């Protein structure tokens, strides 16, 4: 994994952004952006700290307690143990295909060579072969000459409303400099009657992409043509106007930059675009809700900015979720706007660093070895499975779903179902469990039903199981879900189920389902099935 790098702040405040502020608790991270020094009023400072709580004391000796079991580093990670990501890094870094670029190019060529298009394609029925679908400008083999490019540009400039591109919501226009548009240029206008956005088209010959071009560029170039200097950036923001709670949301984006001096400016611009354009960004919804409730108008303020290298995002989001789960034992509540939280599979080191920054501790507080005592603990997520009851028989009643775990010595994956059938089929290549099965070295797995619950509680209960799985992974707890006749054999020399410590195969969870009762339910489940109590709170 590449070392984490920080983006140094500029002395001058970026347009449209507040000055950054440092985290209010814990030691400062070496990779975080150092904020400019600014005098603040005492009443404006919101300090998040954890309140002391009475810890559970175990009366038995156990290696978990003797070793003060806390988050464990796993020295090696198999191919399937990768950071759980809502959007995979490979997907983030891949330039979106087409985006209408081919249709932009086709229209531009038609304007440059109108007679060729009309005579050679439309007059010769044998010109289009089965491998050349109707409508493709197959005759264009040579790049446009400078004279032909000027012909197209002059035609576009002469059209006040631009030139519509067939079968799209795009229009080619010549935009004259003025206002926020720094330079006159060829743009593609994307949108409808309600809202449109203008994007510069890359000036590289034969490249008609608009991905990554900027309005401020005199010679706009797309992300591909700007060169190899690209980075992921994750930024943490807060609402500086909300004095009642600490608002947190995270944004991640891929940006390109020309030089080190331009790195921060490009990162900030890219993050702004991500916040304003992404349909999954929580900030606009939060702003609307605050204004509806007649609260002070939200003021977005950057808290810190980090270059992202695979695992930084997972660690930051996961520890923010942990801080949220500690409530109500904190001085102030956290309002976390991100709905989906990536689970830190393979990111234990970064989780430890982030937890240390905030003074958060996750550890085993008690051990229950007695099977009868564990059996007496109530099942917190509905009705526990009876005997060898199957999933299908558990969901025969209306408005009832079931929870289950997929397990083997390598993995645990918690899921839900409303039918009990067709789960994790080999033909579903997008399925997480199927993807594991297709990896080299994977073992057969078994599906063990856990219990049933009303449909209204199904997603919430599943999200709680994701937290249990994350804790078991981070604490490196033994495998506790094994049938009497599992469809696999343990590796050579391993004969007991507690000699394997599976990873959390779940990649993400929805944090909207968590509340002040979450840790109570999580602890009940951990005690009943794993035989351990969990402490989540301040470091000693």
Q: What is the DSSP letter of 11?
A: S
DSSP per-residue letters across 345-359: TT-HHHHHHHHHHHT
Check whether 418 has a pLDDT greater than 80.
yes
Q: Are 85 and 92 in contact (CB under 8 A)?
A: no
Question: How far, in Å, CA of 327 to CA of 517, rounded?
Answer: 9
- 52-71 pLDDT, tens digit per residue, is 666 665 555 555 544 556 76
Q: Which residue has the higher pLDDT, 467 or 349?
A: 467
Compute the mean pLDDT over every residue in the chain, rounded to the nearest whole number: 77
Smallest Cα–Cα separation from 265: which of 217, 309, 220, 308? 217
Residue of 235, 361, 388 lying closest to 308 (CA atoms): 235
What are the residues whose beta carbons fall under 8 Å from the beta carbon of 167, sequence distance 6 or more? 103
Which tens digits make up the pLDDT trace of 90-145? 333 433 445 688 899 989 999 998 754 444 434 443 333 444 333 333 444 578 88
The pLDDT of residue 140: 43
Residue 211 vs residue 1, higher pLDDT: 211
User: Of 274, 276, 287, 280, nearest to 247 (Cα)?
Assistant: 287
**Among positive and negative, which fits the CA dihedral 312, 313, 317, 318?**
negative
The per-type count for the chain, helices as H runs and strands as E runs, is: 15, 17
Residue 300 CB contacts under 8 Å (≥ 6 apart), including other chains: 17, 18, 237, 238, 239, 240, 275, 283
What span, in angstroms and rounded, lies between the C-alpha atoms of 298 and 180?
Answer: 24
Q: What is the mean pLDDT of residues 314-337?
A: 84
Task: Compute the distance between CA of residue 216 and CA of residue 322 in angstroms, rounded to an integer.
Answer: 41
Segment 197-212 shows an average pLDDT of 87
Res. 442 pLDDT band, cuts 50 70 90? confident
How far CA 133 is from CA of 116, 118, 206, 288, in Å, comes to 17, 16, 22, 47
Check residue 470 and give its pLDDT.
94
Q: Which residue from 171, 140, 174, 183 is spatially nearest to 154, judged by alpha carbons?
A: 174
The alpha helices in 382-517, defined as continuous H runs, are 391-394, 432-437, 455-474
Which of the 8 DSSP states describes residue 224? G
Mark out the alpha helices in 201-347 (DSSP H runs): 263-277, 283-292, 312-325
Tokens of 448: 């063990």
- The stretch 32-51 carries a mean pLDDT of 53
Cα–Cα distance for residue pair 100/169, rounded to 1 Å = 9
* Cβ–Cβ under 8 Å, residues 362 and 70: yes
What DSSP designation does 96 have?
A: P
For residue 324, which of 271, 393, 247 has the smallest C-alpha distance?
247
Cα distance between residue 225 and residue 209, in whole Å: 10
pLDDT in tens, 220-260: 888 777 665 677 788 899 999 999 999 999 888 877 777 77
**Tens digit of each residue's pLDDT (9 = 90 or more) over 382-416:** 999 998 899 999 998 889 999 999 999 889 999 99
Determine which of 52-66, 162-176, 279-293, 423-437 has the lowest per-residue pLDDT on average: 52-66
- pLDDT of 527 reads 95
- Residues 212 and 431: their CA atoms lie apart, in Å, by 31
Q: Model-level pTM? A: 0.66
What's the pLDDT at 384? 96
Name the range with the highest mean pLDDT among 50-54, 425-429, 466-470.
466-470
């Amino acid at each position: 994994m590449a070392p984490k790098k920080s983006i140094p702040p500029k002395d001058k405040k970026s347009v449209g952004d507040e000055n950054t502020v440092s985290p209010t608790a814990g030691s400062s991270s070496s990779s975080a952006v150092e904020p400019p020094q600014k005098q603040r009023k005492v009443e404006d400072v919101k300090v998040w700290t954890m309140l002391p709580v009475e810890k559970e004391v175990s009366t038995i000796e156990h290696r978990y307690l003797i070793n003060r079991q806390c988050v464990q580093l796993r020295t090696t990670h198999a191919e399937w143990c990768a950071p759980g990501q809502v959007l995979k890094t490979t997907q983030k870094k891949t330039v979106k295909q087409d985006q209408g670029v081919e249709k932009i190019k086709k229209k531009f060529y038609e304007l440059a060579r109108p007679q060729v298009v009309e005579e050679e394609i439309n007059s010769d029925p044998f010109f289009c072969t089965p491998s050349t679908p109707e409508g493709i400008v197959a005759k264009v083999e040579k790049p446009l000459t400078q004279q032909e490019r000027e012909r197209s540009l002059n035609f576009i400039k002469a059209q006040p409303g631009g030139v519509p591109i067939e079968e799209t919501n795009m229009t080619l226009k010549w935009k004259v400099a003025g206002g926020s548009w720094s330079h006159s240029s060829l743009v593609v206008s994307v949108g409808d009657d309600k809202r449109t956005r203008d994007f510069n088209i890359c000036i590289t010959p034969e490249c008609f992409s608009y991905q990554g071009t900027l309005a401020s560029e005199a010679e706009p170039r797309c992300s591909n043509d700007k060169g190899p200097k690209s980075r992921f950036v994750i930024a943490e923001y807060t609402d500086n106007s909300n004095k009642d709670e600490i608002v947190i949301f995270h944004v991640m984006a891929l940006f390109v930059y020309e030089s080190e001096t331009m790195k921060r400016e490009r990162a900030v611009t890219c993050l702004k675009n991500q916040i304003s354009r992404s349909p999954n960004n929580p900030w606009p919804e939060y702003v609307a809700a605050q204004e509806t409730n007649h609260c002070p108008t939200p003021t977005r303020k950057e808290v810190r900015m980090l270059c992202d290298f695979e695992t930084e995002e997972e660690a930051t989001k996961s520890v923010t979720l942990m801080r949220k789960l500690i409530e109500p034992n904190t001085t102030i509540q956290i309002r976390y706007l991100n709905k989906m939280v990536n689970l830190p599979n393979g990111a234990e080191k970064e989780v430890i660093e982030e937890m240390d920054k905030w003074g958060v501790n996750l550890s085993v507080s008690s051990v229950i070895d007695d099977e009868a005592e564990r059996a007496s603990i109530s099942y917190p997520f509905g009705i526990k499975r009876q005997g060898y009851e199957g999933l299908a028989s558990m969901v025969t009643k209306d408005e009832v779903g079931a929870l289950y775990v997929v397990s083997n010595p390598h993995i645990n994956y918690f899921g839900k179902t409303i039918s009990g059938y067709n789960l994790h089929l080999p033909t579903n290549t997008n399925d997480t469990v199927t993807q594991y099965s297709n990896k080299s070295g994977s073992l057969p797995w078994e599906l063990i039903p856990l219990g049933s619950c009303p449909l209204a509680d199904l997603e919430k209960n599943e999200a709680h199981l994701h937290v249990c799985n994350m804790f078991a992974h981070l604490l490196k707890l033994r495998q506790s879900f094994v049938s009497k006749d599992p469809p696999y054999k343990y590796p050579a020399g391993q004969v007991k189920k507690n000699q394997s410590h599976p990873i959390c195969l779940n990649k993400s969870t929805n944090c909207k389902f968590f509340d002040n009762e979450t840790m109570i339910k999580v602890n009940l489940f951990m005690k009943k099935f794993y035989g351990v109590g969990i402490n989540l709170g301040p470091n000693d």
